[in-house]
């Protein structure tokens, strides 16, 4: 009787395996001949664009980080410093990205662990966002407009696993003789001796 049960299990595994293989094999409609005959029909209308058509904008490339630092309250949150440059009006533009790296740490196995939780980026004040000019030994705070509004777009809240949040802020520019600054983003280690472009 043990022999029959092993044969039955073996037959069942063979049937399941064949069914799985059959579902992975290409369908009769996806042969190269069928694909090549359908392709000209699908691309024919695109061959004659309208004279007034505006070309589509190319997708923006992801900015390369100048430097990165880990959040002091949650090791899965990272700040990537993207740009430090002089802009018109005597300002210094600083751009950075918050990245929750917890989404990349999930298991790919059959039994995965608990889903990662979002990283919370709160509990800081605007005075914590500034830069210093080591050559002049001076601290620079965020620029404001004539109505007192800060010139920035800075995220505060929950960053979901795998999510990225772009940020920027404008500051008064240091003297032209200053070529490097140290940037302080709240609750991250300072980005020291960052070159100005």
> 141-165: per-residue pLDDT in tens?
999 999 999 999 999 999 999 999 9
Range of lowest pLDDT (12-16, 114-118, 130-134): 12-16
C-beta atoms surrounding 184 within 10 Å? 18
Q: What is the pLDDT of residue 97?
A: 98
Tokens coding 87: 């802009």
Query: How far is residue 145's CA from residue 169's CA, in Å, rounded to a whole number?
Result: 12
Fold designation for 67-104+117-195: Immunoglobulin-like (2.60.40)
Closest CA to 71 of 100, 94, 105, 95: 100
Residue pLDDT, tens place only, 171-193: 999 999 999 999 999 999 999 99
**What was the pLDDT predicted at 165?**
97
Using DSSP, state whether 107 is helix, strand or coil.
coil
Q: Is 90 exceeded by the pLDDT of residue 3?
A: no
Tokens of 52: 């007034």
Confidence of residue 116 (pLDDT cuts 50, 70, 90): confident
Count of C-beta atoms within a 10 Å radius of residue 51:
5
DSSP string for 32-80:
HHHHHHHHHHHHTGGGS--TTPPPPPPPPPPPPPSEEEE-SS-TTEEEE
3-state secondary structure of 124: coil
Q: Looking at the whole model, is its pTM more than 0.75? A: no
pLDDT in tens, 25-40: 444 444 444 343 444 4
pLDDT in tens, 60-112: 456 799 999 999 999 999 999 999 999 999 999 999 999 999 865 444 544 55
pLDDT at position 112, please? 56
What is the predicted pLDDT for the residue at 29?
Answer: 42
Q: What residue spans define the domains of the chain? A: 67-104+117-195
Using the structure block, give the residue that is written with the tokens 């008064």.
Answer: 172
């Amino acid at each position: 009787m043990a022999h029959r049960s092993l044969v039955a299990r073996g037959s069942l595994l063979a049937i399941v395996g064949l069914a799985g293989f059959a579902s992975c094999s290409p369908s009769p409609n996806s042969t190269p001949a069928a694909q090549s005959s359908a392709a000209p029909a699908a691309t024919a209308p695109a061959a004659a664009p309208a004279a007034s058509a505006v070309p589509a904008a190319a997708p923006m490339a992801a900015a390369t980080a100048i430097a990165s630092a880990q959040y002091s309250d949650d090791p899965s949150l990272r700040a990537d410093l993207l740009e430090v440059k002089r802009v018109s009006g005597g300002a210094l533009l600083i751009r950075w990205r918050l990245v929750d790296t917890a989404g990349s740490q999930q298991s790919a196995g059959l039994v995965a662990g608990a889903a990662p939780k979002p990283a919370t980026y709160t509990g800081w004040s605007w005075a914590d966002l500034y830069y210093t000019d080591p050559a002049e030994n001076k601290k620079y705070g965020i620029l404001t407009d004539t109505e007192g509004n800060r010139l920035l777009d800075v995220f505060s809240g929950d960053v979901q696993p795998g999510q990225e949040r772009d940020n920027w802020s404008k500051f008064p520019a240091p003297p032209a003789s200053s070529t490097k600054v140290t940037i302080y983003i709240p609750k991250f280690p300072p980005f020291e001796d960052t070159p100005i472009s």
